[in-house]
Amino acid sequence: MSNNPLLPANIDALAAYSSAKSEKLTGTTWLNANESPYVKSIDISINDLNRYPDPQPASVINRYASYAQLTPEQVLMTRGADEGIELLVRTYCQPAQDSVALFLPTYGMYKVTADTHNVAINDLSQALLLDGTVDEIVTAVGN
């Protein structure tokens, strides 16, 4: 805590974010860092690159909507999982009123985003997710 009077208390209390890579854990893939264990090579030319690509590319949205059996209006493209998580928490959670349920272990940015926006965290076990009934999970998740 810095006791900086300009900072909201929940921001002042934040701990520095550390990723699996920064903690120098062994291994080459960290699923809790939202990394895919699969390597895929791509072949592109410099002419295919665009500094400011379309933020909501219709071709990608349409293909994903078809795959996920959604309408294109139900798909939002983001610049990665972190931005998507941030948008969901900011849009749907009231600071100091709501909570998010996390089934641990999970991607660390859920906690960082909840803490940053003063949204409580309800830590739940994977065992509950795997073995609990729907009613037990709903009760544990809460609001």
Per-residue pLDDT at 100 = 94
Compute CA distances 132 → 93, 106, 135, whole Å. Answer: 25, 18, 8
- Residue 137: count of CB within 10 angstroms of its CB: 15
Per-residue pLDDT at 30 = 65
Q: Which of 122, 121, 112 is nearest to 13 (CA)?
A: 112
Mean pLDDT by 10 residues, the chain (143 residues): 75 75 68 70 75 84 98 92 93 92 92 95 93 93 78
What tokens were used for 89? 């928490």
Q: What is the pTM of this model?
A: 0.65
Burial class (CB in 10 A: 0-12, 13-18, 19+), 114: buried
